[in-house]
Amino acid sequence: MIVDIKERLGKTKYDVDKSYAHITVDERICEKCPHHFCVMACPAQCYTLQDGKLNFQYEDCVECGTCSVACDQGSVKWTFPKAGKGVIYKYG
């Protein structure tokens, strides 16, 4: 029963805040990052590498905070989404 991560994320409910990205990354720092550990650590595949360049999207974020620890280069700025926005677990 192998399910692709995108399909699994598709089962989870969100109210995405289109006007506010609660996590931002500094591309200039990511460019020089020696490991891009965020790509491995993020359980929601928000961080991907495309031709060696880090790509980040916050829309699928499940707000676990893993990247705030995984990034040891000072690139990730982590804040809580605004009032009620973001992931809304139906089961938990």
Partner 1 sequence: MPDYDAIVVGAGNAGSAAAITMASKGLSVLLVDRSDPPGAKNLSGGVLWGNDLARILPKWQSEAPLERYIQNKKIGFLTDDSSIIIDFKTKIFEENKVGYTVLRSKFDPWLAKKAKEAGAMVIPGITVESLAKKDGKIVGVVESGDTITASVVILAEGINPRLAIEAGLREPLQDWEVSVGVKEIIKMSPQKIEDRFNLTSTSGMASEYIMGNLKELNVGAFFYTNKDSISLGIVSPMEQLRANGVTHTYDIIEQFKEHPSIAPLIEGGTVAEYGAHMIPEGGLEMIPKLYGDGYMIVGDAAGFGFSNGLVLQGMNYAFLSGILAGETAVEAKGRNDFSENFLALYKQKLEGSYVLKDLKTFKDIRKVTNNKNMYTVYPKMLESILLEMLWERGQPKKKVRDILSSCAADLNLSKLKTATDFYYIYRRM
Q: Mark the segment that binds partner 1 (CB under 8 A) among 10-18, 23-31, 51-59.
A: 10-18
Q: Which amino acid, 20?
A: Y
How far apart, in whole angstroms, are the C-alpha atoms of residue 70 and residue 3? 25
The smaller minimum CB distance to partner 1, of residues 32 and 91, is found at 91
Distance CA(89)–CA(92), nearest Å, equals 5
Sole binder of partner 1 in the list 40, 50, 51, 52 (CB under 8 A): 40
Q: What is the nearest approach in angstroms of partner 1 to the Cβ of residue 16?
A: 14
Least distance (Å) from partner 1 to the CB of residue 13?
8
């490991």: which residue's tokens? 35
Q: Which of 33, 37, 55, 73 binds partner 1 (CB under 8 A)?
A: 37
Position 49 contacts partner 1 (CB under 8 A):
no
Handedness of CA 59, 41, 72, 83 (dihedral sign): positive
Rounded CA-CA distance 48/55 in Å is: 5
| By the rule CB under 8 A, 44 interacts with partner 1 | yes
